[in-house]
Amino acid sequence: MKKITMVLIAIALSSASFTVTAKGRQPCSGKKGGISHCSGGKFVCVDGTISKSKKICGR
């Protein structure tokens, strides 16, 4: 019984870490340097460009 419990815990922990890393691309990722701020519902990247993301940023 202990072995089964340990296996289930190991599976739960490994699947939880997988979902965190599988989130996908973020606005302004890569060479753009990340998100600087939000302007009019659009993401403004650190390099000054506006992200082409269809996501709307909060105000």
Question: Which residue in the block uniquely carries the two structure tokens 């340097």?
Answer: 33
For 1-59, write each residue's pLDDT tens digit: 878 887 777 777 665 544 444 455 788 888 888 899 999 999 999 999 999 889 888 75
Is the overall model pTM greater than 0.85, yes or no?
no
**Residue type present at position 44:** V
Q: Are 44 and 51 in contact (CB under 8 A)?
A: yes
| Cβ–Cβ < 8 Å for 55, 43 | yes
| Cβ partners under 8 Å of residue 46, min gap 6 | 28, 32, 33, 34, 35, 36
